[in-house]
Every structure is written in structure tokens, then in C-alpha cells.
Amino acid sequence: MNTPVKSLSNLLKSSLKRVEREISKNIKDEEKLITLTAGHLIKAKGKKIRPLLTLIVSKMLNYKGNADVTLAVCIEFIHNATLLHDDVIDTGKIRRGKLSANQIWGNKVSVLVGDYLLSRAFKLMVKNKSLKLLEILSQTSLILARGQIQDVGNNQNVNLTEKKYLSIIDAKTAELFRISCFLPTIITDQNKKTQKIFNDFGFNFGMAFQLSDDVLDYFGDSSKMGKSVGKDFFEGKVTYPVIHCFKKSDKKSKKIIAKLFFKRKRSKKDLALILDLMKKTNTYKSSIEFVRKYAEKAKTNINKFEGNKYKVYLDELVDHLIIRDK
């Protein structure tokens, strides 16, 4: 099946090969365990959506040069660093359809290799001699860490509000999508209006992406996703479908949900129970509508670029968020 991600990857085949060469070069270390651990994750079948966004926006803005490839590599390093750290925090077992790095080499190695990738990203930016880009990426790393801490701090909290949850996913997920689309406007010296267009597009795309992920965790197809359905639930993560279900439930059902998330461990029987409650509260439909809200905003953001031959790829990518892997 030729998905929008595959179509975009084919379009950017030459640039992606350059990105992959730079990744391979920059994870090759005298400490073989670093190369092995980083390569295990980065060279797995990830979609590389964030680097793809950086490359396609650069093309939309007629960029000619090599900085777009460097930025794509940095963003991929930062993203994979967060995945290595996430799997330690969440005691993850499967990542991209394979055993996660922490399951093979342990938590200590995973954390340290994640740190190594972050350091590599900043070293590449220093080499690029752009203080502005380095400043933006440094701030993004702080925001990502803050978002992850807030996420962990609200584990099992069924009283988490929609407003607070949206601020958490803004920091932990949407932020990296935002700069993936915003940074090309810096290397092409765009005016403030164009910078805002792609800044807002990246934010709305990132929010739709995370909310879509939340929906898939309860209603997706595990064979297509490369991870098990219910992963967030078993880890005690309160995501948008849970927030909606809890809000729309009666007192008796709210007590059941609270009890499920208060437990130290949740079973498949527990998952079936909350799925039944979600069905009663029309959670799937409401969650998809919420994804669509951000997706439509993202498409509206780039209306000014109607006629640009690359815009259609972004439109298709946004539409795919609503139906991906379901």
C-alpha cells in the first residue's frame, strides 16, 4: 500500500539517502556499544516523519544547500534520544516491531546512548555555525524534557483535565514537530508571516499526531502499528480517550475507571472493561473528531501555499493522521 509517508519518502529519496549517510557517519563511535545500540533503533523501520517534514518544507521554500539535511539529522537524533529514554521510563519492550534497546542492553546503556544522541545533535549544530538554530534546538530539548516530566507526574491521574493534557502533549510531542517545520524558515530567511505559517502548521500537525496515537492505542491494529494495543493503558497513562470517557461517565463508571488506574497492574480483562466503557461514552468518535480539529487547522495554516507543487504531500500527510493504521 502506497501511503502518504511512502509517497513523500519516494519524492525525497535523494535527500533521505543523504540524511541516512550522515546518521550512519555520526553514530559510528570507537565505543562499539554506542554504534550498536543507536543503530538498532535508528535503522529500524521508523517512518522518519519529522525529518521528512523538515526536508519537504525546505523544498516548498526553495532551499538550495545542505543545512536542511543537517537539521533533519539533528531532529532525528533528538527524537530517537527521547524514544530511548521513554522506553526506560515506561519499561517498554517493543519499539518499531523489534525488541526495544533497553530490553537488549539494559536501562543504563539506553539512557546513556540517548544522551549521546542529544550531544551529537548539538555538536552538529555547532559545526553548522548557527547560533540561532542552536538556541532553538536547545530550547526545544528543555521543553521536551519538561513535557516528559509532566507526563510521568500525571501517570494514573484520572482527574487530569483536557486543558492540562493538551499542554503536556504540546511539550512532549508537538514541540519537535513544530521546529521540524519552523527551522526551514530560518535557513531560508523567511519573513515573520511565513515563519508563523509553518510554526503553526507544525504545532497543529504534532497535536493531531499525538491525539491520533492516543486513539490507536485503544482502537488500532497492533499488526500494523508495530506495538501492542493498550500499551498506554497497561502503563497507567491517562490519555485523551480516558479523559473523555471519564468525563462522560456516570458516577459508578467513574469509580470503576479510577479503580482500574489506581491498580499497580492492569490486565487484558481490565482493558476489555475500559473499552466497553469507551463504547458507551462514544469515545472513539469524539476522539477522532478531536484529531480532525487539529488536522483541519494544520491544512488551513498552509492555504497560502496553494499551487505549490509540494503542498499536496503535506495535505495528504495530514489526512493520513485521521485514518493511519486503523
- Taking the domains of the chain in order of start, what are their residue ranges? 4-323
pLDDT at 253: 98
- Average pLDDT value over all residues in the chain: 93
Unique residue bearing C-alpha cell 525525497: 12
pLDDT at 272: 97
pLDDT at 325: 53
Q: How many helices (H) and strands (E) does the chain have?
A: 18, 2
Fold exhibited by the domain 4-323? Farnesyl Diphosphate Synthase (1.10.600)
pLDDT at 45 over 80: no
Give the pLDDT band (50/70/90) at residue 226. Answer: low
Partner residues linked to 95 by β-bridges? 98
In degrees, rounded to 5, the angle at the alpha carbon of residue 91 between the alpha carbons of residues 86 and 96 is: 65
Instruction: Give the CA distances from residue 42 to residues 26, 240, 244, 267, 280, in Å, rounded to whole numbers and listed in that order.
Output: 12, 28, 34, 31, 40
Angle, in degrees to the nearest 10, between helices 268-280 and 251-262: 150
Q: What is the pTM of this model?
A: 0.94
Q: Which of 82-91, 251-260, 288-297 has the lowest mean pLDDT?
A: 82-91
Nearest to 50 by CA among 39, 61, 62, 42: 42
Can you tell me the mean pLDDT for 5-18?
A: 96
Cβ 72 vs Cβ 128: under 8 Å: no
AA letter at 206: G
Q: What is the pLDDT of residues 127-174, one digit of tens each?
A: 878 889 999 999 999 999 999 999 999 999 999 999 999 999 999 999
